[in-house]
Amino acid sequence: MITARQKRKENIVEYLIYMWQTEDMIRACRFDMDEIESRIISQYDRPEEVKQDIRQWYRELIDMMRIEGVMEQGHIQINLNVAAELTDLHLRLLKSPQETVYGSLYYKTLPIIVQLRSKSGGKETGEVETCLTAVYGYLMLRLQGKEISAETTEGIKQISNLLAFLAAGFREEEEGRHV
């Protein structure tokens, strides 16, 4: 909750990846608040009233995941909405004749996106979601201590550059500056 709020303000891409990780943590804890308490909430060095807010946040996420039918896989609607907003911004930036930097980053990243989509097993995903999924997968591999090829690392760097630009544009729009 605390991390999510901060990431939401600072970097929407980091926020979304954090929320995906939170969904997966809830799944790993089998939607059990006692397990979430012992594995996650107990690690926070915060006053008890803050921990109560954190517990409530996890309960609400669990409820959303159950109601929305994403207990096994997928993402809750609030996360899908953020991804849709990022996709909308992505498309607007590509259409903007004034925005040459983003277009250049996108066309440099496009071959990587196409390659990733070809490996997705026929699942149709948008370009932004493909990029987000790639970064999330990369982070999960790193957390697991798995070996990552130099080619993959370079591809993730390129995707990260694109997503960083997109996140900055999102923040500008939220601050009332038009992209």
The distance from CA 91 to its chain's CA centroid, rounded to whole angstroms, is: 18
Taking residues 81-102, what's their average pLDDT?
96
Residue pLDDT, tens place only, 141-170: 999 999 999 999 999 999 999 999 999 999
Alpha-carbon distance of 16 to 38, in angstroms, equals 24
Residue pLDDT, tens place only, 27-86: 999 999 999 999 999 999 999 999 999 999 999 999 999 999 999 999 999 999 999 999
